[in-house]
Amino acid sequence: MSLGMKILGLGLMAVALASVLYLRALVRQLSEVPYLPTAEARVQLKESILGSAPGEPQTISLFFPVPGEGMLRREERTLTLVSAAPDRVRQILMALREGSREGMEGAIPAETQIRAVYLAPDGIVYVDFDQTLERAVSPGIRSETLTIYAIVNTLAVNLPSIQQVRILLEGREAETLAGHADLSRAYTPDPSWVEPTLPNPDR
Amino acid sequence: MPSLTKRASILPLALGLGWAVVWATLLGPSRALGAENFIFYFPSRHEALPLRQIDQSGYLPLEKTLRLFGRPVNKRERQGRVSWRFNRRQLEVRAGQKRVRVGRKRVDLPFPVRHLDGEWWVPISFLTEVLGEIIPDAMEYHAGTRRIFIGEVEPNSFELRFDSLPGGARLTLQFLQQTSISAAEEEGNWILYLGGHPLQPPQPRFEFSNPIIKSLAFDDQDGRPKLILTPGPDQMTLRPLLAEGGMVLILDVARSDPARTAEGRTPRAPESIAPAPAASGGPVVGADSLPAVVLDPGHGGIDSGARGQNGLSEKDWTWRFTYQVRLALIATGKFRVVMTRNGDQLRSLDQRAITANTNRGAVFVSFHLGHTGAGQRTVAPYIYQPPFGTTTARSAGALSFVPWEEVQNSHLPESLRLAQYLRDELAAIEDIAIREPVSAPVRLLRSVDSPAAFIEVGDLSSLEDSGDLEDPEFILQLAQAVVRAIERFSY
């Protein structure tokens, strides 16, 4: 076999090997659930602010589960809210999804996508999350209830026109969040889930 | 003639040898099974395979197991791994690895696959975790047992009650399905054969601290489900009676009448265990006069619930724990106990509520295991929190229709009382954090038409604590506390 043929053979083998490795990586990438870390959630929040009409910076209240406790704690954040109400809901939920800056547990898993927000004239807001919310929340009545009331209390405290919150999963009314907490109802904010030593959400 | 005589002397020897060969052929496989067997109940047959204990975990021979379910082909064994084509899926395991490849999917077993003495061994959970993915039939397996039910097999089970009688004792077994019984005596024990129908006992053995009856054990190691009743040291007589159309078995054990010592410990002939008329009396587990308690082991079937870092699944833990509560409740003799699921079954939330509501006036308690985030053993009782603005009072009119989703509302004060008793009794257990009863939007409870509480035990988030949660002493303490609370509430 000539030297040229040998080089060609080696080259072809290298190409074949590279193709196998690339295909393997591609299959792995496609089979894995897309992961959106907290940093990415933060980027999305900033993009939503930059892409909207500028307004005045406001102090908003977010509610996060206290580690090891069955309660929520209020945490304040300065945010430039946009004018359109559904976009405001989305923006506040993104801030909640970004996570606590004071060491609290996450309220909404960082990889959760907010698919849609609908505002009904009777003061009910419908928030449609993707299936990640169900998959990523720890199953259990405590963790599911805290996730629900973190969302409900946060929206109601910052947007007084909101009376009730209805959580949808993948565009549908689900029976429960992750097997325990009822999702077949609209939720009214409940201050009893907030630490009593700190200011409660107004209703 | 001499040759005839020789032939005559060889003939019995040859017959004996032939007989021995036949017996060895017939009994060979069962002898090879070893001390412990694992029984597979299929709809029309049952099979046994040897169960091997490796590092304190039960292991099954992989290839023999696969052959019970189908025909594994294209076996390839090389460099510490083996693979087959089985049911149109590629199955591959590696020695010392927990990970199993099923087609393109990877499944993690709780314990590694072993390759010992030329045979591949897999932990029992391989059946549900891996085979369940490959074969179309449903499987019912209770962790810690040595049997599995495949396909349409619905195992029988029973509740047990013990009563002391003057000069004797009575065991009452309430079966879930109709049963036929035949009895025999062996080595001082009474053997009660349960008609060959698969059975899942509430626990493998019941011990009694009583001079009349020592124990009642279940055994199906040879594929024949049977109960083994061991009497106390004195001469005893057994009077078995099958009542309620084969649903209730009453076993009266008494010290033998000295005048009839010859009868000794011989149980009555099997034909005497004829079905008795329902009106034959005797205490029956499940008698309608007793207040009902409906126990709900959370999750089941394909719904495993939460999972701990060490592989502990919520559905298995709730089943084991709820059975402890059930046994402790039955032992009081004060309650009729109903379970919302029988084994590893999937039941919807509404099906569970229906079970509660068909036992009117019952107390309902649902048990769960969760990520409480507390990092220590925690117990939290919950009651139902109705949606804002719904009425909690039921109208007193003769005809009052209550929406299905508002059924629990009128029971909330009583549910809170039940939850508070649970909290008080559970608080007496050392080294656990107990939370005050809280109203939460528990979907399960909304349609339960009786006082109802929901108990969440944790913390599954912590690895050490997950191990602690399986501690039998802890489970027993929890169960006893729950029983004390239900007794306080009901009496």
Q: How far apart are CA B425 and CA B379, in angstroms?
A: 11
Q: Quick one: B207 and B272 in the same domain? A: yes
What is the average pLDDT across B138-151? 86
The 10s digit of each residue's pLDDT in A13-38 is 988 888 888 888 776 655 544 444 56
ω into B219 cis (within 30 of 0): no
What burial letters (b/e) apply to B151-184, b meaning 16+ CB within 10 Å?
eebbbbbbbbbbeeeeebbbbbbbbbeebebbbe
Q: Which residues of B touch A31 (CB under 8 A)?
A: 104
Give the pLDDT of residue B160.
Answer: 83
Give the pLDDT of residue B162.
Answer: 82
Q: Number of A:B CB contacts under 8 A?
A: 88
The answer to whether residue B201 is domain-embedded is yes
Tokens representing residue A119 in the block: 């505002």
Q: How far apart are CA A109 and CA B208, in angstroms?
A: 51
Q: Quick one: B76 and B173 in the same domain? A: no
Give the pLDDT of residue A152.
Answer: 97
Spatial strand order of the sheet with B114-116 comes to B52-54, B57-61, B119-123, B114-116
Q: Quick one: B146 and B232 in the same domain? A: no
Nearest to B306 among A139, A176, A182 (CB): A139
Give B56 to chain A, closest Cα distance, Å. Answer: 30
Check CB contact under 8 Å for A188 and B435.
no
Indicate the Cα dihedral angle B145, B148, B149, B151, nearest 10°: 150
Q: How far apart are CA B259 and CA B321, in angstroms?
A: 47
Q: Quick one: B351 and B485 in the same domain? A: yes
Q: Which residues of A touch B446 (CB under 8 A)?
A: 182
Q: Where is average pLDDT lowest: A39-43, B62-66, B239-243, B277-281?
A: B277-281
Among all residues of chain B, which has the CA nearest to that of A182? B443
If you average pLDDT over every residue of chain A, what do you get? 85
The 10s digit of each residue's pLDDT in B444-476 is 999 999 999 999 998 877 656 566 888 888 999
- Residue B194, domain CATH: 2.60.40.3500
Say yes or no: A179 contacts chain B, CB-CB below 8 A. yes
| Beta bridge partner(s), residue B83 | B76, B92
Looking at per-residue confidence, does B265 or A14 come out higher?
A14
Q: How far apart are CA A191 and CA A202, in angstroms?
A: 8
Q: Quick one: B217 and B111 in the same domain? A: no
Residue B273 has pLDDT above 60, yes or no: no
* Band of residue B278 on the pLDDT scale cut at 50, 70, 90: very low
- List residues in chain B touching A: CB distance below 8 A: 104, 299, 303, 305-306, 314, 349, 368-375, 380, 382, 385, 387-389, 405, 435, 438-444, 446, 454, 456, 458, 460-461
Q: Quick one: B106 and B228 in the same domain? A: no
Contact of B183 with B191, CB cutoff 8 Å: yes
Say yes or no: A175 contacts chain B, CB-CB below 8 A. yes
* Band of residue B250 on the pLDDT scale cut at 50, 70, 90: confident
Q: Which residues of B touch A182 (CB under 8 A)?
A: 441-443, 446
Q: Where is average pLDDT lowest: B15-24, B245-254, B406-415?
A: B15-24
Q: What is the 3-state secondary structure (H, E, C) of chain B?
A: CHHHHHHHHHHHHHHHHHHHHHHHHHHHHHHCCCCCEEEEECCCCEEEEECEEECCEEEEEHHHHHHHHCCCEEEEEECCEEEEEECCEEEEEECCCCEEEECCEEEECCCCCEEECCEEEEECCHHHHHHHHHCCCCEEECCCCCEEEECCCCCECEEEEEEEECCEEEEEEEECCCCCCEEEEECCEEEEECCCCCECCCCCEEECCCCCEEEEEEECCCCCCEEEEEECCCCEEEEEEEEHHHCEEEEEEEECCHHHHHHCCCCCCHHHCCECCHHHCCCCCCCCCCCEEEEEECCECCECCCECCCCCEHHHHHHHHHHHHHHHHHHHCCCEEEECCCCCCCCCHHHHHHHHHCCCCCEEEEEEECCCCCCCCEEEEEEECCCCCCCCCCCCCCCCCCCHHHHHHHHHHHHHHHHHHHHHHHHCCCCCEECCCEEECEHHHHHCCCCEEEEEEECCCCHHHHHHCCCHHHHHHHHHHHHHHHHHHHC
Check CB contact under 8 Å for A142 and B372.
yes
Check CB contact under 8 Å for B440 and A141.
yes
Element (H, E) at A167: strand A164-169
- Percentage of residues in chain B having pLDDT higher than 70: 82
What is the average pLDDT across B27-36? 43
The answer to whether residue B24 is domain-embedded is no
Q: Which residues of B touch A65 (CB under 8 A)?
A: 373
Q: Taken in order A105, A107, A108, A110, is the CA torsion positive or negative?
A: negative
The answer to whether residue B270 is domain-embedded is yes
Contact of A141 with B440, CB cutoff 8 Å: yes
* Band of residue B1 on the pLDDT scale cut at 50, 70, 90: very low
Q: Quick one: B327 and B439 in the same domain? A: yes
Contact of B486 with B402, CB cutoff 8 Å: no
Give the pLDDT of residue B277.
Answer: 34
Which residue segment(s) compose the domain that B90 sits in? Answer: 37-150
Give the pLDDT of residue A203.
Answer: 43
Residue B286 has pLDDT above 60, yes or no: no
Q: Which residues of A touch B380 (CB under 8 A)?
A: 70, 142
If you average pLDDT over every residue of chain B, what do you get? 81
The 10s digit of each residue's pLDDT in B196-217 is 788 888 888 888 888 889 899 9
Give the pLDDT of residue B11.
Answer: 55
What is the average pLDDT across B295-306? 92
Q: How far apart are CA B135 and CA B139, in angstroms?
A: 10
Check CB contact under 8 Å for A188 and B388.
yes
Say yes or no: A28 contacts chain B, CB-CB below 8 A. no
The answer to whether residue B10 is domain-embedded is no
The answer to whether residue B397 is domain-embedded is no
Give A3 to chain B, closest Cα distance, Å. Answer: 36
Q: Quick one: B250 and B361 in the same domain? A: no
Say yes or no: A68 contacts chain B, CB-CB below 8 A. yes
What is the average pLDDT across B271-278? 38
- Residue B342, domain CATH: 3.40.630.40
* Band of residue A65 on the pLDDT scale cut at 50, 70, 90: very high
A45-49, B13-17, B180-184, B432-436 — which one is most confidently predicted on average?
B432-436
How do beta strands B105-108 and B433-434 pair? unpaired
* Band of residue A64 on the pLDDT scale cut at 50, 70, 90: very high
Show which of B255, B280, B305 is a domain's final residue: B280
Q: Quick one: B93 and B125 in the same domain? A: yes
HSE toward the beta carbon, residue B354, CA cutoff 13 A? 6
In a mutational test of the A interface, the residue from B443, B454, B466, B469 whose CB has the highest number of chain A CBs within 10 Å is: B443
Spatial strand order of the sheet with A164-169 comes to A114-119, A124-129, A164-169
Give the pLDDT of residue A37.
Answer: 53
The 10s digit of each residue's pLDDT in B367-391 is 999 887 777 889 999 999 999 877 7
Q: Quick one: B323 and B445 in the same domain? A: yes
Q: Where is average pLDDT lowest: A21-35, B10-24, B222-236, B441-455?
A: B10-24
- Percentage of residues in chain B having pLDDT higher than 90: 34
Q: Which of A93, A120, A81, A98 is nearest to A36 (CA)?
A: A98
Check CB contact under 8 Å for A140 and B306.
yes
Show which of B280, B310, B328 is a domain's final residue: B280
Check CB contact under 8 Å for B368 and A180.
yes
Check CB contact under 8 Å for A139 and B370.
yes
Q: How many domains, in total, are found in chain B? A: 3
Show which of B116, B150, B184 is a domain's final residue: B150
Q: Quick one: B296 and B410 in the same domain? A: yes
Q: Which of B254, B267, B272 is nearest to B213 (CA)?
A: B254
Q: Which residues of A touch B439 (CB under 8 A)?
A: 192
The answer to whether residue B449 is domain-embedded is yes
* Band of residue A39 on the pLDDT scale cut at 50, 70, 90: low
The answer to whether residue B114 is domain-embedded is yes
Q: Which of B300, B303, B338 is nearest to B319 (CA)?
A: B300
Give the pLDDT of residue B270.
Answer: 37
Give the pLDDT of residue A99.
Answer: 94
- Residue B79, domain CATH: 3.30.457.10
Among all residues of chain B, which has the CA nearest to that of A105? B373
Contact of B319 with B141, CB cutoff 8 Å: no
**φ, ψ for residue B394, nearest 5 deg:** -100, 135
Q: How far apart are CA A140 and CA B440, in angstroms?
A: 11
Give the pLDDT of residue B265.
Answer: 41
The answer to whether residue B11 is domain-embedded is no
Nearest to B443 among A140, A175, A188 (CB): A175
* Band of residue B16 on the pLDDT scale cut at 50, 70, 90: low
Residue B78 has pLDDT above 80, yes or no: yes
The 10s digit of each residue's pLDDT in A117-170 is 999 988 999 999 999 999 888 889 999 999 999 999 999 999 999 999 999 999
Give A193 to chain B, closest Cα distance, Å. Answer: 10
Q: Where is average pLDDT lowest: A17-31, A90-104, B18-32, B341-355?
A: B18-32
Q: Quick one: B213 and B318 in the same domain? A: no
What is the average pLDDT across B79-105? 91
